Amino acid sequence: MTARLMRGRPTLHTRRMRLDPMNEEHLPLLVELDSDPEVLRYILGRARTAAEATEFWGPLCRDRTPDSVGLGFWVGFLGEEFVGWWDLYPAFPDVGPVTEAELGYRLRRAWWRRGLAVEGARELVRYGSEEQGLERIWAETMAVNVGSRAVMERLGMRHTSTEVRSWEHPIEGADQGEVTYTLWITHPTPAKTHL
């Protein structure tokens, strides 16, 4: 696995994919991804319109705040084929040092069940822990989203809480709550030297 610095975030590589820092040139891909209702089943319960997706993703594609700490969103490619996106996003990207970040991912349906969600997420966990010194990485999903929960478990994350939230327009399964999975990372303590 190698990393090359680019616009504050490195381009990351897994065995099969290249993860590029997300920017405005990727906006059409993100709009297309969000047009699939199955992809957003556990997010909105429906697809986003092109206008909704542009309004949502446009500011995120332009946001360089997380670059200051080397974190943010990445888009994944298998060769030249767009697979989806991953993120490692700090709660407060403009405050340092950052020791915690939230992991997320969303893939095109054509690439589901091929291990790519885990592969991309595992590389972000490696990058966050080894190169950014993160101490805690967490992820959230609906309790009924067994596919996403399986990805978190394969990364070694542990279920740490379930919370039933109040939604203006709840989607199917919302009554079972949102789950949080956490990975605590311990870094070796430097050996003391005696003078």
pTM: 0.89
Q: For residue 193, what pLDDT is reported?
A: 60
Alpha helices (runs of H) in 34-160, residue ranges in sequence order: 50-62, 116-126, 146-154
Q: For residue 93, what pLDDT is reported?
A: 62
**Is residue 177 left, alpha or beta, with left meaning phi > 0 and alpha meaning psi from -120 to 50?**
left
For residue 163, report the phi and psi dihedrals to the nearest 5 degrees: -135, 125
Residues of the chain with pLDDT under 70: 1-7, 93-96, 189-195
Q: For residue 7, what pLDDT is reported?
A: 38
Q: Note the Cα 69 to chain centre separation in Å.
A: 16
Domains defined along the chain, listed by start: 3-134 (3.40.630.30)
Best CA proximity match to 21, nearest among 75, 68, 77: 75
Q: For residue 138, what pLDDT is reported?
A: 97
Q: For residue 8, what pLDDT is reported?
A: 79
Exposed / middle / buried, residue 18 (Cβ in 10 Å: 0-12, 13-18, 19+): middle
